[in-house]
Structure 1
C-alpha cells in the first residue's frame, strides 16, 4: 500500500479546561482523495483540520505528513516547514482570522513572497481574476464584504498551488455562482481535499469519501460518501438529521429528516 499523504495514528486532543476530543483516532488520506468531513457543532471538525495543518499538536498519538511526524521539532526545520506550509493549507471558517495585510493585492502576494515562489504577480493576477477580486486589489481587506473576504482567503491559498487543502465550511459566505466555480475548480484540480461542511447537497458534490464525527470526536463512519448521505440513522447520530413527531387522524408517528444548512 502506498504511503498516505496524511495520517492520523491514535490521535487524541483536549482543549484546556474542556472534555477530550478524539480518542485513538486513526485515518489515512491518500494523494488525490476528496474527503468530506461531517458532524455536529462541537464534534471537533475544526480541531481535526487544525491538527491536519500542523497548527495544533495532538495530546496523544501523532499526525504524519508524507510519512513524517508533524511536531514542533519538524516544523522548526526550515526546509521542511517551508515545503509543508506551501503544500498543506487551511481555510478558516471565519476568513477575518487570515487577513492582515494592507491591501487585497498584498494579501494574495504574501504567501508566495514569504515562501520564495516564482511569478508572484502572475499568481495574484490569476486568482484575483478567477475570484472576481481584480477590481479590488488596492482595497483594504477590512472594507470587503463577508463573501469577498471568503474569496480573498481562498485566493491566498490557491496562489500557493498547494497539494492538500483543508477547508472549514468554505461556502458559508459565498454566492451560488462562486460556489459552483469553487466546486468545479477543486474537483478538476487533482488536489487532495478535506472539506468540512453541514450542507449535505454540497457534500454530495465535493467528495467521494466521508468522515462522519459524532459527539466528542468519535468517528462514526469512514467510507464511501453516497451511502453515508443515504443513511438517516447515521446522519441523526451525527446531528445532521432529526426526528419529527407528527399526528395524522389521531395517530402519532415520527419521521427522520435531513436538512441542508450552514453554520454561522
Structure 2
C-alpha cells in the first residue's frame, strides 16, 4: 500500500468548553482517492478539515500528513512543497492582492516560476474557475463564492496532491458549479492527486462517501 497522504487515528478535537466536536476519528486517504464528506452545517466538518491541514492540533489521537505530524508552530515539508490544497469557505485569499496575484504567488515562491510564467499559469486556472474577467479584482470582490473558486484555482495551479475543500458560502449558481466541476476534473487528471471535499457534487468519477454525524465518521460508497 502506498504511503497515505492523510492518516487519522483516534483523532479527537474538543471545543473550548471541553465538549468534543468529534471523537475517535479514524481515516486513511491514499494517493488518487476521492472522498466526499457528508456533514450538516455546524457538525464539525470545517474543524475536521482544519485538523487535517495542521491548522489545529488534536486533543487526543494523532494526525499524519504524508507520514509526518503537522504542527501549527513548525513548517511541514509537504506544505512547504505546495502539495496541500487548502480551500476554506471564504477562500483564504490576501485582500491586498488581485485574484491573479493570489494564485500566482505560490507559483513563484514554491514552484520557482518567473513572474510572467506564474501570471500566465494563474490566468489559465482562473479561466477554468470561470473568473477570467475577474482576475484583476481584489477580494472580497467578487463575492465569497468567487473567492472560493479562486482558491480552487490556486490549489490547481500549484499542483496540489491533497485537496481539502470546505463548502462555499451559500449555494453555487449553475455556472459556478460547472466551473468547480471543470476545475476539479482538470486537477484530477493527476493520478496521484487525492481529494476530501465537504458536500457538493463537484467531483467526477468514482467518489467514496464519508459521513460525519454525532462526532463520528462512517464510510460508504458514493456515486
Provide the TM-score with structure 2 as the length reference: 0.84
Instruction: Indicate the SS of the match to 1:154.
Output: helix
Identify if the C-alpha distance between structure 1 residues 94 and 72 changes in structure 2 by more than 3 Å, giving closer, same or farther: closer
Shift in Å, 1:166: 0.9
Larger radius of gyration: 1
Aligned 1:118-137 pairs, distance under 5 A: 118=113, 119-137=117-135
Match of 2:158 in 1: 160
Identify if the C-alpha distance between structure 1 residues 101 and 114 changes in structure 2 by more than 3 Å, giving closer, same or farther: farther
Identify if the C-alpha distance between structure 1 residues 80 and 28 changes in structure 2 by more than 3 Å, giving closer, same or farther: closer
What CA distance in whole angstroms lies between the structure 2 residues aligned with 1:117 and 1:194? 27
Aligned 1:135-146 pairs, distance under 5 A: 135-146=133-144
Match of 1:245 in 2: none
Match of 1:225 in 2: 222
Instruction: Indicate the SS of the match to 2:159.
Output: coil
The answer to whether structure 1 residue 90 and structure 2 residue 89 are counterparts is no
Identify if the C-alpha distance between structure 1 residues 120 and 2 changes in structure 2 by more than 3 Å, giving closer, same or farther: same
Identify if the C-alpha distance between structure 1 residues 12 and 224 changes in structure 2 by more than 3 Å, giving closer, same or farther: same
Structure 1 stretch 202-211 or stretch 105-114: which is displaced more?
202-211
Match of residue 107, structure 2, among 109, 112, 120: 112
**Aligned 8 A contact 1:147 1:175 in 2:** no
The answer to whether structure 1 residue 33 and structure 2 residue 62 are counterparts is no
Aligned 1:1-264 pairs, distance under 5 A: 1-72=1-72, 75-76=74-75, 79=77, 81-83=79-81, 86-95=82-91, 97-118=92-113, 119-170=117-168, 172-187=170-185, 188-189=188-189, 190=191, 191-197=193-199, 199=200, 202=201, 208-215=207-214, 217-219=215-217, 221-226=218-223
Note the alpha carbon deviations across 1:17-75, whole angstroms, 9 max, x for none: 251122221110111111010122232111111111111111111111222222357x3
Note the alpha carbon deviations across 1:106-137, whole angstroms, 9 max, x for none: 22222223324323122222112222333333
Structure 1 stretch 50-59 or stretch 10-19: which is displaced more?
10-19
Note the alpha carbon deviations across 1:185-242, whole angstroms, 9 max, x for none: 4244342110111x5xx27857521111112x212x213225xxxxxxxxxxxxxxxx
**Aligned 8 A contact 1:99 1:153 in 2:** no
Identify if the C-alpha distance between structure 1 residues 50 and 13 changes in structure 2 by more than 3 Å, giving closer, same or farther: same
- Runs of 5+ consecutive residues of structure 1 not aligned to the other structure: 227-264
**Aligned 8 A contact 1:171 1:179 in 2:** no
- Runs of 5+ consecutive residues of structure 2 not aligned to the other structure: none
RMSD of aligned Cα (Å): 2.5
Identify if the C-alpha distance between structure 1 residues 98 and 18 changes in structure 2 by more than 3 Å, giving closer, same or farther: farther
> Using CA pairs below 8 Å that are at least 6 residues apart, which structure has the higher relative contact order?
2
